[in-house]
Amino acid sequence: MANNNQASLLLQKQLKDLCKNPVDGFSAGLLDESNVFQWSVSIMGPPDTLYEGGFFNAIMTFPDNYPNQPPTVQFTSEMWHPNVYSDGKVCISILHPPGDDPNGYELASERWTAVQTVESIVLSIISMLSGPNDESPANVDAAKEWRDNRAEFRKKVSRCVRKSQEML
């Protein structure tokens, strides 16, 4: 229980910090006021990217042993991206459990560390939107399209951006 309480206090502090010092490009808050372990995050499509103009919503779910283990981030807005699974789950190195990668793709230093914050996670997601990593894709179809048929990829992303604007 002490672990859960520490995680809860840390998340409350990070939320307070974000409210006091908002970060350009996203906003975050609790999905439900009674649960500090589930956050609602809105990410603005970064300028000068295919996602520009979009408002993408995601849910960040923190484990009881945060910050020792990473949260999961899942877009609830439609998203077409090589590093986002078809169910919306984000796949980037810093959201992978700490330590060595069992598949040997990532260095331990690229994976989750307890110094990460909600802000650093969301900034990594914004960076992912700006430059997909098609080397180890979560969505193989999107990665293939990103590499081989940029026009079709662009069209699907534009549709996601339009849909996200309609949801406002």
Please give the positions annotated as active site.
91
68, two tokens: 């020792």
Among residues 61, 70, 48, which one has the least CA distance to residue 129?
48
Strands (E), 20-122: 26-32, 35-44, 55-61, 72-75
Alpha-carbon distance of 95 to 161, in angstroms, equals 24
65, two tokens: 């042993």
What is the residue type of 7? Answer: A
CA atoms within 13 A on the CB side of 109: 0
Alpha helices, DSSP H, located in 93-139: 118-130
